[in-house]
Every structure is written in structure tokens, then in C-alpha cells.
Amino acid sequence: MLVKVNSGSAKWILFDNAEQVEYLSLPFEITSSNSLEHLSQLHQASEVVHILPGIDVEAIDKSHKLRVGIITFFRNQEKYLIIFSTLAYICNDSGKTVEKVQA
């Protein structure tokens, strides 16, 4: 499978050869930079990728919450966690969209 995440300004980050792809169907609210770090540790991923264009992570608090999407998958037997504030697509190997994931 292919995971495609918008990185802002019409640019995309692609993750190919993704297996066992899972995602949250609803956005997750982050209320502090510590909760973002805790979320990363909770998933125990080998690779954690934050795609948060234009976001000052230190400014996140209870009055300035951040809604993020979360996708996990395995590639080369390593677990990846993608936390993003944009839009992502999960596609089949030929590039056809299987699922749209909105933060």
C-alpha cells in the first residue's frame, strides 16, 4: 500500500510498501507538546514522523488545541507512526485511493 500525506503548499510525502495500515477515523486532539510526545511513545514505533506545517508545537495548550490525524503501518518490519495536521490518502499499490484521512 501507499500512504500519501500533504505536507502543505500542495506538496506530498509518500510512504510506499506500507503493510498493516491502520488509522484513526476521527481526529485526535493534542492539548500540549507533552501530549504529542506521549502519543508518540504510546505507539512504540521505530519511526515517528510529524507532518505539522506551520504549527508551533510549543504553543499548543488547552486553549490552542491541535487536531491531528494518526496513521500507523509497517514497512520492512519496522513500525511507523505518522502524526499529521493536514490530509492523507491510503492508496493501493497502483495509486488508487482506498481511504481519505482528514486531521
Return d(Cα 79, Cα 97) in angstroms, integer.
22
Structural domain that includes position 6: 2-102
Per-residue pLDDT of the chain (103 residues; tens, 9 = 90+): 999 999 988 899 999 999 999 999 889 999 988 888 888 888 899 999 999 998 888 888 888 889 999 999 999 999 999 999 999 999 999 999 999 999 9
Cα distance between residue 95 and residue 98, in whole Å: 9
31 closest CA partner among 68, 64, 55:
64
Is 23 buried (19+), middle (13-18) or exposed (0-12) by CB count in 10 A? Answer: middle
DSSP structure class, residue 35: H
Tally of domains in the chain:
1
